[in-house]
Amino acid sequence: MAATGLDIRLLGRFSVRRAAKEIPPSEFHARLARTLFRLLVTRPDQLTTRDYLTESLWPGRTPADPERNLNVMIARIRRALGDASLIATGSGGYSFHPTAGCVVDA
């Protein structure tokens, strides 16, 4: 399913709206998943390495399997957004690729 009219707000209270309806934070399943999405959105069309994301999400306390944790969170983000193509998996990381119907306030 394509994300129609995706509106991402980073300034002020973080929110994501799809077709003018807010995606509830619970659809992302965890605060860290929302933080991960914000990190990717601030670097559109750029590969963000797993190492950078791991350090940003778990400074000084890396989980036993950070790659698996990132993969799970990315899957949850894609599901919440309703368009898996917005988050690309690249060699060693992930990138956010906004589509024509995607607006980011920052």
pLDDT at position 6 over 70: yes
pLDDT at 106: 82
Radius of gyration of the chain (CA): 13
Token representation of residue 75: 């899957």
Task: Report the C-alpha gap between 79 and 82 in whole angstroms.
Answer: 5
Give pLDDT tens digits for 24-62: 999 999 999 999 999 999 999 999 999 999 999 999 898
pLDDT at 37: 96
Taking residues 2-21, what's their average pLDDT? 85
* Cβ proximity of 67 and 50 under 8 Å: yes
pLDDT at position 105 over 60: yes
Place of tokens 């991960």: 36
Q: What mean pLDDT is reported for the chain?
A: 91
Q: What percentage of the chain has pLDDT greater than the value 70?
A: 96
pTM for the whole thing? Answer: 0.90
